[in-house]
Amino acid sequence: MSKKRKQTSRHQQPARTEAMQVDNDQQPGRAYMRRGAVALGAGFVLLIIQFIFLFQYTHTSGPGDHSFSAALATVIGLLIIDGVLLLIGLSLLGYGFWLKRQERLSAHR
């Protein structure tokens, strides 16, 4: 029975990919919004992980052992990458909203 289940899921995968492609072609605004939401989600998850690391790094040792600036220096590269990821996510989301608005305006004409 598990073999049959694998075959059906394998046959459904191209149909799902084709449906997503049709959705992306017919409604590009929604596709950009989805990509922007994924990028924003990844950026916020990375930001939360960095804040947890900074909190643990500054509060686990005695006072004066680990300063906030030393902890920040260890994750500055990740913070830059995270900022870029959040900017990309916001721009994709905004562009998706704009495309969706243009689609709606052109449909009313």
Query: Mind giving me the DSSP string for 45-89?
Result: HHHHHHHHHHHHHHHSS-TTTS-HHHHHHHSHHHHHHHHHHHHHH
Q: How far is CA 61 from the centre of its chain?
A: 34
Instruction: Report d(CA 14, CA 96) in Å as an integer.
Output: 25
- Give the pLDDT score at 23: 63
The pLDDT tens digits for 56-85 are 877 776 666 567 777 778 788 888 999 999
- Give the pLDDT score at 10: 58
Contact criterion met (CB below 8 Å) for 38 and 107: no
Q: Estimate the share of the chain in helix, then strand, then coil, as percent rounded to the nearest 5.
A: 90, 0, 10
**String of b and e for 41-72 (b: at least 16 CB within 10 Å)?**
eebeebbeebeeebeebbeeeeeeebeeeebe
Average pLDDT over residues 37-49: 92
- Give the pLDDT score at 94: 93
Instruction: Report d(CA 86, CA 47) in Å as an integer.
Output: 10
pTM of the model: 0.65
